[in-house]
Amino acid sequence: IFITHWHGDHYLGLPGLIDTMDFENRLKPLTIYAPEKERLTNLLNSGYSSKRFKVTPKAVPAKGCQVKNLLETGDFKIVSVPVRHDVAAVAYSLVEKDRVKINKEKAKKVGLPAQGLIYREIKEKGRVIFEDKKIEFEDISLVEKGKKIVYSGDTEICDNLIRLAGDADLLIQDCTYFDSERKEKYGHASLEDVIKMVEKAGVKKVILTHISRRYRDLEKLRRKVRDYPTLTVAEDFMKVTI
């Protein structure tokens, strides 16, 4: 679990979620990443609990400009960077690693069969001899670039966020205001800010979220962004393909 900052609308569901996990007989340890780790520790210790699984808080830096590598597996990594809000806050990015795959068209051109154990062999060894011909893995492979997803949390547009969002396939972006009023005071972004940032960062698709409750007419908001094909107004339970 990754917490961006300690305003109630971003963390108050956490105790109930942890209790639900316990009720559902979770045994696997849970790691929670957050800035100001002591606040997370205090929250976890604020009531009586007899959880059957371990919860480990992990600190996330909320000052400076360093992109911090928080978690890495064989398939992806998750990184963070401090952003500009009225309390300590961070943004997160999930970055898939590039995948090297067999290109069946290339394989067919060099004479390999449509399927078979020979593909496992060439992946493991890097080359095979087939019908007296040496075939390198590079001859029949292609690189599928991994996807990049960024979640801004609550923030004004800032250099750290622009850097983190660079070339993202999907940016889930704070767009509290669809006009420019009061955004500086509260540390949020406006639609005008987001449009400028997306052009600079080269983001492919943006979901606008954390929209102020003053904007009740979602259809009116959609009309405001219809001239910007990369922008979409968030809806509950929406699904996005990237």
Catalytic center residues: 9
Bridge partners (DSSP) of residue 69 are: 79
> Interhelix angle for 14-23 vs 37-44, to 10°?
50
Q: Which of 55, 82, 60 is nearest to 70 (CA)?
A: 60
Q: Shortest CA distance to 93 belongs to which of 41, 1, 187, 168? A: 168
DSSP type of residue 84: B
Which residues, other chains included, contact 38 with Cβ-Cβ below 8 Å and sequence gap of 6+? none
**Alpha helix positions (H), the chain:** 14-23, 37-44, 104-109, 118-125, 137-140, 159-165, 183-186, 191-201, 218-225
